[in-house]
A and B are shown apart, each in its own frame.
Chain A
Amino acid sequence: MNDTGNAATHEETILQVKDLVVKFSLRGQVLTAIRQASLDLYQGQTLAIVGESGSGKSVFTKAFIGMNDANGWVDSGSILFEGRDLARFKTEREWLTIRGKKIAMVFQDPMTALNPLRTVGMQIQEALTLHQGLKGEEARQRTVQILDEVGISDPEARYAQYPHEFSGGMRQRVVIAIAVACNPRILICDEPTTALDVTIQAQILELIRTLQRRLGLTLIYITHDLGVVANVADRVAVMYAGEIIEYGTSEEIFYDARHPYTWALLSSLPQLGLKGQPLYSIKGTPPNLFTEIKGDAFAPRNPRALKIDFVARPPFFQVTPTHYAKTWLLDPRAPRVDPPEAILAMRAKYAGVGVGR
């Protein structure tokens, strides 16, 4: 599966986001959480959205299923899916044609994601009844089958048990089972393994991958774990301060990153740290989203920032047909700026080695 880059010709776009702006009203002030983010999602592929906390990863994807809080709204831009513009959806009725049915979501913390007072079976069955119209014994049998499919042993007995009788990893399997029972086209996984311990993480990732293959799912991973990204993603979108600043295939992002923020993010991988030196961390804090951001949002934290970065917002520059980055460094007039040492060292070390998949 390392050939995604050259398979561009027969890739089919399933969801297309253009210049999406999402705002929230908080204590009388307006916060711009998503600032003109654009993204193409391809059928059957896995996209990872990375970025630090508060960069808007969750808000961005929640906008696809209308799950942002009531004080938030899509200000402009479009989300095209199956010929409809989800950005224009207003009523719950419209969203119910998408939510779960077409686009499902798995959340971070499986410990609290299930209703503690209803059996695991009933909670999966609810989705089956809702989206596949199954009822009674038929629904029960299908639920047991799904439990089995997500790797829960003794599914007949587990069907009638309550969430507190399941471990964290098992509960996440149930949450995934619920998402799968909806039979969606796109599955959004919002940090699905963050709350789990490492050995379980790998199992859950493997499970999601298996289900993706079997059901032809398109996946969106939201994560700040670059290890997970390297493991699962075909494409990576890097978010910063509410916009997607670099977008490309896994290889392109890991080995040919162009945006200074992506460099900084990769440099902070502990694996890239040089022996005897303190781990790299990005200085400063993300910009205040209540105020209008001028120029490149990352410029104030970027030691290599150009003058223009503080004045004008960079457009998307194309690096390859699959790789885009929003940085003035890609402008033909820009001076040559080399990535940090850690990035160069990594490139040298892994030259010619594909990203693990």
Chain B
Amino acid sequence: MLSYTLRRLRQSVVTVFIVLTLVFLLMRLLPVEGYFGDSYDKLTEEQRQAVLAKMGLLDPWYVQLEHFYGALLHGDLGVSVVYRPDVPVNQIIAMKIPYSLRFGLAAIALSLVLGLAMGVRQARDKGRFWDKTWTWYIVLTHAVPMAVYLLFIQLYMTKILHLPMLYDRTNPISWILPTLSMALGPIGGYALWMRRYMVDELNKDYIRLARAKGMSSTAIMVRHVARNAFVPMAQYLPTSVLLTISGSIYVESLYSIPGMGGLLIDAIQRQDNPLVQALVLIFSTLGIVGLFLGDVLMAVFDPRIKLSKQGGAR
């Protein structure tokens, strides 16, 4: 287990390095006009050169890369240059993460509980009323663009239930709709997979033996089917939990939540290189950690999976 972890760690560091370097270089390929926004035309050529020099963009790319990694090794992610000039990027990110994290975790918890329950119910009543009803729900939430139904929810739910339209840090009631909106899609997703894996399990021979043993169908559902069906889903759980910090771009803008949603896109559009690099570093690291934890979780649940040997028994 330890040697496996170390090997995975080594691979992860290499992966993050490649991703980060690639994004770093791609950012340097963007036209320099982007760094100035609207002020480009107002500046003289000398002034422009001075701005670029101050950002360190006139150095050859390998020197820039060296500076970046040098600072990174000392834990310095640099300062924002466009988004909020001269504010350290980790400060910007640290301010926004708690909002996204809070809503993301609440939404994940909600969608896990409801989605799994829904999936179990569907598998039990396969082909009957509840299965069909929930299937409609899943198709709707996945086929209709999120923007459409989330907007409707904001418009009408607030009216009908007299809930506030916008997020207010001091008013917990205003947290309900954003959380719900973020959970709607994932509820359907978890239900879909849970149903699918449970139906798979229900058709397996060991269920027949469990029945022949004299177990009630409820006991079989709880002790054999649900647990086994959850295992293949467990693999993706850590990644989705960790990546909640990236926030939901649409819900956050809809309810004016000052979270991370859209920050990366914003930063790329405005060519705020240090901010982009910091975000890419965080997201790719979390993604890789999520995958690793997913594999560990799988090995915990499924005794047939061993993490120790290369290739392993799968």
Partner of A109, one of B205, B211, B213, B223: B205
Residues of A within 8 A of B206 (CB): 112-116
How far, in angstroms, from A130 to B304 measured CA to CA in the complex?
A: 27
Query: Contacts A115-B224, A164-B304; is A107 near B205 (CB within 8 Å)?
Result: yes
Interface membership of chain A positions 210-234, coded 1 if the CB is closer than 8 angstroms to chain B and 0 otherwise: 0000000000000000000000000
B95 → A minimal CB distance (Å): 44
A131 in complex: contacting residue of B211, B214, B301, B303, CB < 8 Å: B214
A117 touches B205 (CB 8 A): no
Residues of chain A having any CB pair with chain B under 8 Å: 65, 67, 92, 96, 98-101, 104-105, 107, 109, 112-118, 126-127, 130-131, 162, 164, 175, 178-179, 182
Question: B151 interface residue, CB < 8 Å from A?
Answer: no
Find out whether the CB atom of B205 lies under 8 angstroms from the CB atom of A113.
yes
- Nearest CB on A from B297, distance (A): 13
Say whether, besides A115-B206, A117-B301, A100 and B227 are in contact (CB < 8 Å).
no
**Which residues on the B side are within 8 Å of A131 (C-beta)?**
214
The answer on a CB contact under 8 Å between B211 and A99 is: yes
Chain B interface, >50% SS class? helix
B208: chain A residues within 8 A (beta carbon): 67, 107, 113
Structural contact, A100 and B212, CB atoms closer than 8 A:
yes
Which of chain A's residues have a CB closer than 8 A to the CB of B204?
112
Q: How far is the CA of A109 from the CA of B208 in the complex (A)?
A: 11
Q: Are B231 and A105 in contact (CB under 8 A)?
A: no
- A162: contacting residue among B209, B210, B211, B303, CB under 8 A: B303
What B residues does A99 contact at CB under 8 A?
211-214
Determine whether the beta carbon of A67 is less than 8 Å from that of B227: no
Total B residues in contact with A, Cβ cutoff 8 Å:
22
Set of chain B residues within 8 Å of A105, measured between Cβ atoms: 212
Contacts of B211 in A (CB 8 A): 67, 99
Q: Select which of A92, A104, A115, A164 is within 8 A of B212 by beta carbon.
A: A104
Q: Is B90 on the interface with A (CB-CB < 8 A)? A: no
When distances are taken between beta carbons in the complex, the residues of chain A under 8 Å from B301 are 117
Q: Which residues of B from 213 to 247 have beta carbons under 8 Å from A?
A: 213-217, 223-224, 227-228, 231
Binding site for A on B (CB under 8 A): 204-206, 208-217, 223-224, 227-228, 231, 301-304
CB pair B205–A96 under 8 Å, yes or no, is no
Which residues on B sit within 8 Å (CB–CB) of A100? 212-215
Query: Which chain B residue lies CB-closest to A93?
Result: B216
With CB as the reference atom, state the residue of chain B lying closest to A99: B214
Whether A112 contacts B213 by the Cβ 8 Å rule is: no
In the bound complex, CA of A294 to CA of B217 (Å)? 40
Cβ contacts under 8 Å, B216 to chain A: 92, 96
Given A99-B214, A130-B214: A113 and B209 interface contact (C-beta under 8 Å): yes
Of the residues B213, B231, B302, contact of A178 by C-beta under 8 Å: B213
Query: How far is B205's CA from A105's CA once the two chains are assembled, in angstroms?
Result: 13
Give the docked Cα–Cα distance between A118 and B214 (Å).
18
B301 to chain A, nearest CB (A): 7
Other than A96-B216, A113-B206, give 15 A-B pairs with Cβ distance below 8 A.
A67-B212, A100-B212, A104-B212, A112-B206, A113-B205, A115-B224, A116-B228, A116-B303, A116-B304, A126-B223, A130-B213, A130-B214, A131-B214, A164-B303, A178-B213
Q: Report yes or no: A118 in contact with B212, Cβ–Cβ below 8 A.
A: no
The 6 nearest A-B residue pairs measured at CB:
A100-B214, A112-B205, A99-B214, A105-B212, A162-B303, A115-B206
Chain B hits for A65, CB < 8 A: 212
Residue of A nearest to B214 (CB): A100
A126–B206 Cα gap in the complex (Å)?
13
Judge whether A96 and B214 touch: CB under 8 Å: yes
Residue of A nearest to B223 (CB): A126
Please state if B215 and A92 are interface contacts (CB–CB under 8 Å): no
Asked if A127 and B224 sit within 8 Å, CB to CB, the answer is: no
B273 to chain A, nearest CB (A): 48
10 contacts between A and B (CB under 8 A): A109-B205, A112-B205, A113-B205, A114-B209, A115-B224, A116-B303, A126-B215, A130-B215, A178-B209, A179-B212
- Centre residue among B210, B227, B231 by max chain A CB count within 10 A: B210
What separation, in Å, do the CA atoms of A182 and B112 have in the docked complex? 37
Shortest CB-to-CB span from B55 to chain A, Å, is 55
Q: Of all chain A residues, which has the CB nearest B228?
A: A117
Q: For the complex, what is the distance from the CA of A100 to the CA of B213, rounded to whole Å?
A: 4
In the assembled complex, the CB of A337 is this many whole angstroms from the nearest CB of chain B, namely: 42
When chains A and B are docked, how far (Å) is the Cα of A118 from the Cα of B225? 11
Q: Give the Cβ gap from B206 to chain A, nearest Cβ, in Å.
A: 5
A126 touches B213 (CB 8 A): yes
Instruction: Determine the chain A residues whose CB is within 8 A of the CB of B212 once the complex forms.
Output: 65, 67, 99-100, 104-105, 107, 179
- In the complex, what residue of chain B is closest to A116 when comparing beta carbons? B304
Q: What is the chain A residue whose CB lies nearest that of B205?
A: A112
In the bound complex, residues from chain B placing their C-beta under 8 Å from that of A127 are: 213-214
Q: How far is the CB of B196 from chain A (nearest CB, A)?
A: 17
> Are A162 and B304 in contact, CB atoms less than 8 angstroms apart?
yes
Contacts of B303 in A (CB 8 A): 116-117, 162, 164
Question: Which residue of the partner chain B has the closest CB to A103?
Answer: B212
